Structure 1
Amino acid sequence: MPDRDFDPKHFDTLDRDLGRITTLEQAAGFVGRPVVGKGIAFLFVVAVALFAVLAFGDQNNTLLIVLAAAFGAYMALNIGANDVANNMGPAVGANALTMGGAIAIAAVCETAGALLAGGDVVSTIAKGIIDPNSLGSARVFIWAMMAALLSSALWVNLATWVGAPVSTTHSVVGGVMGAGIAAAGFASVDWAQMGLIAASWVISPLLGGVIAALFLWFIKDRIIFQDDKIAAARRWVPVLVGIMAGAFAAYLAMKGLKNVLKISTAATLGLGLAVGMACWLIMIPVIRRQSQGLENRNKSLKTLFAIPLIVSAAMLSFAHGANDVANAVGPLAAIVDASRSGQFVDSFNIPVWVMMIGAFGISIGLFLFGPRLIRVVGNQITKLNPMRAYCVALSAAVTVIFASWLGLPVSSTHIAVGGIFGVGFFREWYTERRMKALKQAVPETGHLAREERRRRKLVRRSHFMTIVAAWIITVPAAALLSALIFGAIAVLTA
């Protein structure tokens, strides 16, 4: 016998209420996600500050060391959120790695690079930007380093929020320069060194872009547009992998492992050549076996480039951790050393605990805030596939080696993003060239309207202009922030 109290409409009302609750939970989760990330980052900074209190609570200038440790942790978080995207963005954009896989590989390799091969000796004045003797006293030096550390962290944070990958090295340089000018005037700055750094704004992206475009041209000419793509890939992919392996071996020996393995430039190039030849020979049967049964089309070629691209991204992350962790902890180590000794010197050893702050801070910042910049670098500048992304990664290693050989100060950020721009602009030029050739061969194909040609641009001009503008103003913006912070500190401590 049916229940007279039963009414199907009651279930409709219940469904609507449950739907509202689900929507509310989803909205709360969406809103809370960034809050949770910021909360975890804040807890990391607090934990580092508490560690500094426990480790140095019985020494003079404890408050200075605690503040410097907190600022160093904040800077490390921002490096992880911004700079690491340049290494993993191309692999993610090419769908060779998932976002989770990229973050996991980058976190492990960045930490390993920082702890195993990180710089144990670093210049306290950011590669000779200012004369330490012009600062007069250890107290002024400490406040200058504090202002430089905080200003560079704030600038990188702002750039990440805007969605622009910037050079953290240039941010630190700008911070040191601004604090030095505020403390001792314009005469304290080594303007010749600053001129070289300014030149690198142009040299780094141009070198990266041209080399990436040349590799892409080679792949298109020798593999993609061949009648038998698979046979061409069997011949040339091992060669390209050998070039990559040799370049990274030299790159790591020259940059990432320079504090562990001391070898000359000639020995570095010899090591790179030997590793490249060995990998070329090893990859010949590997590529032959991997290419069996593949169809003669471009999609099959992506499979052959996927694993080399992942390995190159991991190597770039290792080298980045070995080199750029000093951007986060160099000023912190300088402050700690000057606070404990009452003196300041041009170079000194970085304590292990300071390196760990940089290493773990970069990994946490990457995990919490890195995906946004990874998407910008990987997807929103130009469309990447494994071949194009491979050209970007290979360009980064080759360009750093070439620039180091010429003695040019370059930015890994500018090189990687410049490589992406180079690949995108080369594709635009190549497509336009093919369209003109087709029109000459078949005149009835017609002419595209200007609006349609603009719509078919392969590089997003809005991202291009935003990133270039951020590059140009990084040093002056960080310098201005640092000068203002140093001025505020001087007033408060007067």
Structure 2
Amino acid sequence: MTNSALKPTLDKDLEKVSQLQGATKNLSRTFVAPGLSFLFLLVAMGIASIYFSGTLGTGVVIASAGVGAYLALNIGANDVANNVGPAVGSQALSITGALLIAAIFESAGALIAGGDVVGTISKGIIDPATVSNSGVFVRVMLGALISSALWVNLATWIGAPVSTTHAVVGGVMGAGIAAAGYTSVNWATMGSIAASWVISPVLGGLIAAAFLFFIKTFIIYQKDKIAAARRWVPVLIAIMTGAFTAYLSVKGLKKVVSISLFQASVLGIVAFVTTWLLVRPLIRHQSEGLENRNQSLRKLFRIPLICSAALLSFAHGANDVANAIGPLAAIVHTISAGEVAAKVSIPLWVMTIGAFGISFGLLLFGPKLIRMVGQQITKLNPMRAYCVALSAAITVIVASGLGLPVSSTHIAVGAVFGVGFFREWYTQSSKRRMRYVQLETGRTTYSRRAETHRRPKLVRRSHFMTIVAAWVITVPAAAGLSALIFAGLTALSTGQ
């Protein structure tokens, strides 16, 4: 047999071996993230055993530390996507850059500004007097931890960004009802939380749409885009700086230093003026030589978007980590002190588990939800992503001033929806856009032909319905699951 006859067979065999090796490599990768996650859980439990070695209830604390670490991993996989997703979707950041920035600033926010005191009953959801027994209280908190972790994990798997704080609140409520009945729940507080399901995304969407309308009106659909950008981009960047200064003052640094809303507003105004004065010459220099087209405008928003992703991550770490690990801190305090307290200190080792767990969860599992928020709901460019990031900061400030509880997750995703739905309306209905297109293309019949076309769909309805459904059922689902887990833990403790 000649070599020419052997070659095709040899090539096919080598190709099969190569495909087998590739499949084996891909399969091994799928086990890396779960393996590293399991290792982190063991480390967290090991840390807990060191601090509670020989103490009564050590086993419960160790198990709770493992569950707390599991919840932190799921927060990183799900909740953090809202902070960096728009920057990734607009291609201002690569997925790798976004992961690194978010991991660093989430951890920094948790450890620097995360605070050392949290409410153990998750913002007054359950009356402490109804669960004064330390054993019952520990089971309520453990049930809340387990149920919220499982629910956020499920939401991540189906690709729905949900509020971790709502999951924890639902978990505490469900276990509290199972322990002490419906009268133990502060239903007024629960009503305000339920209202935030609507307030957060709607307010975020409206603010994002308003800024996108401003950008389209005063920059994009102007004859000289570069001149318009030189005039307005410094103002927009200054608004972002002022908003984030006030945002971090009110929310992100509240555990480090107490700042009133008025003081935060003054700081925001000072930051606005300072930024505007500094950015004007920079934008003028950066815009020199740029062509008079939309692609050129995108370059001017890249740096502000990167900064916004970092600041949103820092604020999220400062606010949400403590809420998520609050039940773990409550368990640690109750077992060590033998009493139920309305507020407890968060030990450094507990905060560290939360901070690093979020970072690891983001690095190992975060890309799925980051792509969902940034790319799959609607198409984002730097200007649209800027509107989303700015909306997140402003909405929290407005809600804080009105005393309304809001979810950063719902705000950010609602802003993405707002941008997409606004573009649908604007593309079809804006007379300014029609006049601009007619002027640029000479198509005088554009408006009449546009009216005969079906309204464009720029938001994926399937994702919209999935996410909204996940939002609506987060609290009741976490509550029901937590009640079942509490019953199981109670049966186990009674059996012993």
Above 0.5 in TM-score?
yes
Query: Is the deviation greater in 436-445 or in 483-492?
Result: 436-445
Amino acid paired to 2:208: A
| Of 407, 411, 422, the match for 2:403 | 407
Find the counterpart in structure 2 of residue 469 from structure 1.
Answer: 469
Structure 1 residues 434 and 263 mapped into 2: Cα distance closer, same or farther (>3 Å)? closer
| Of 196, 202, 227, the match for 1:200 | 196
1:243 is the counterpart of 2:239: yes
Q: For 1:21 and 1:270, how far apart are their aligned partners in 2?
A: 67
Q: Could you say what secondary structure the match of 1:493 adopts? A: helix
Find the counterpart in structure 1 of residue 357 from structure 2.
Answer: 361
Structure 1 residues 367 and 445 mapped into 2: Cα distance closer, same or farther (>3 Å)? same
1:374 is the counterpart of 2:370: yes
* 1:232 to partner: Cα distance: 0.5
Structure 1 residues 65 and 392 mapped into 2: Cα distance closer, same or farther (>3 Å)? same
Is 2:79–2:163's contact at 8 Å kept on the other side of the alignment? yes
Is 2:237–2:275's contact at 8 Å kept on the other side of the alignment? yes
Query: Is the deviation greater in 23-32 or in 160-169?
Result: 23-32
TM-superposition CA deviations, 1:113-156 (whole Å, max 9, x none): 01111021100000000011101301100000000000000000
Q: Could you say what secondary structure the match of 1:295 adopts? A: coil
Find the counterpart in structure 2 of residue 231 from structure 1.
Answer: 227
Q: For 2:227 and 2:447, how far apart are their aligned partners in 1?
A: 35
Q: For 1:240 and 1:52, how far apart are their aligned partners in 2?
A: 47
Query: Is the deviation greater in 11-20 or in 223-232?
Result: 11-20
Q: For 2:214 and 2:149, how far apart are their aligned partners in 1?
A: 40
* 1:13 to partner: Cα distance: 2.8
Q: For 1:281 and 1:215, how far apart are their aligned partners in 2?
A: 21
1:219 is the counterpart of 2:222: no
| Of 16, 35, 51, the match for 2:12 | 16
Q: For 2:447 and 2:192, how far apart are their aligned partners in 1?
A: 52
| Of 257, 261, 268, the match for 1:261 | 257
Find the counterpart in structure 1 of residue 317 from structure 2.
Answer: 321
Is 2:392–2:415's contact at 8 Å kept on the other side of the alignment? yes
1:453 is the counterpart of 2:427: no
Amino acid paired to 1:403: A
Find the counterpart in structure 1 of residue 70 from structure 2.
Answer: 74
Q: For 1:447 and 1:286, how far apart are their aligned partners in 2?
A: 40
Amino acid paired to 2:472: I
Query: Is the deviation greater in 291-300 or in 11-20?
Result: 11-20
1:481 is the counterpart of 2:484: no
* 1:53 to partner: Cα distance: 1.6
TM-superposition CA deviations, 1:258-300 (whole Å, max 9, x none): 0112122211110111011101110001100100100000000
Find the counterpart in structure 1 of residue 107 from structure 2.
Answer: 111
Find the counterpart in structure 1 of residue 305 from structure 2.
Answer: 309
Q: For 1:327 and 1:76, how far apart are their aligned partners in 2?
A: 11
* 1:398 to partner: Cα distance: 0.3
Q: Could you say what secondary structure the match of 1:348 adopts? A: strand
* 1:448 to partner: Cα distance: 6.7
Structure 1 residues 97 and 212 mapped into 2: Cα distance closer, same or farther (>3 Å)? same
Amino acid paired to 2:282: V
Q: For 1:136 and 1:305, how far apart are their aligned partners in 2?
A: 53
Amino acid paired to 1:110: E
* 1:63 to partner: Cα distance: 0.5
Is 2:165–2:324's contact at 8 Å kept on the other side of the alignment? no
Calculate the aligned-residue CA RMSD, in Å: 1.7
Is 1:73–1:328's contact at 8 Å kept on the other side of the alignment? no
Amino acid paired to 1:303: K
1:419 is the counterpart of 2:420: no
* 1:18 to partner: Cα distance: 1.9
Amino acid paired to 1:453: R
1:442 is the counterpart of 2:424: no
Structure 1 residues 290 and 155 mapped into 2: Cα distance closer, same or farther (>3 Å)? same
TM-superposition CA deviations, 1:462-483 (whole Å, max 9, x none): 0000000000000000000000
Amino acid paired to 2:221: F
Q: For 1:41 and 1:190, how far apart are their aligned partners in 2?
A: 36
| Of 378, 390, 394, the match for 2:390 | 394
Amino acid paired to 1:232: A
* 1:348 to partner: Cα distance: 1.7
The within-5 A match list for 1:56-135 is 56-135=52-131
Q: For 2:272 and 2:5, how far apart are their aligned partners in 1?
A: 73
TM-superposition CA deviations, 1:173-196 (whole Å, max 9, x none): 000000100000000000000000
Find the counterpart in structure 2 of residue 49 from structure 1.
Answer: 45
The within-5 A match list for 1:329-348 is 329-348=325-344
Is 1:81–1:365's contact at 8 Å kept on the other side of the alignment? yes
* 1:309 to partner: Cα distance: 0.7
Q: Could you say what secondary structure the match of 2:379 adopts? A: coil
Runs of 5+ unmatched residues, structure 1: none
Amino acid paired to 1:442: T
Amino acid paired to 1:169: T
* 1:441 to partner: Cα distance: 6.0
Amino acid paired to 1:477: A
* 1:54 to partner: Cα distance: 2.4
* 1:444 to partner: Cα distance: 8.8
% identity of equivalent residues: 63
Structure 1 residues 10 and 54 mapped into 2: Cα distance closer, same or farther (>3 Å)? farther
Q: Could you say what secondary structure the match of 1:122 adopts? A: strand
Runs of 5+ unmatched residues, structure 2: none
Find the counterpart in structure 2 of residue 185 from structure 1.
Answer: 181
Q: For 1:26 and 1:445, how far apart are their aligned partners in 2?
A: 54
With the length of structure 1 as denominator, give the TM-score of the two structures.
Answer: 0.96
Q: Could you say what secondary structure the match of 1:309 adopts? A: helix
* 1:6 to partner: Cα distance: 6.6
| Of 134, 143, 148, the match for 2:144 | 148
* 1:77 to partner: Cα distance: 0.1
Q: For 2:296 and 2:449, how far apart are their aligned partners in 1?
A: 33
Is 2:79–2:161's contact at 8 Å kept on the other side of the alignment? yes
Is 1:109–1:314's contact at 8 Å kept on the other side of the alignment? yes
* 1:327 to partner: Cα distance: 3.0
* 1:377 to partner: Cα distance: 0.3
1:349 is the counterpart of 2:345: yes
1:162 is the counterpart of 2:136: no
Is 1:114–1:355's contact at 8 Å kept on the other side of the alignment? yes
Query: Is the deviation greater in 23-32 or in 401-410?
Result: 23-32
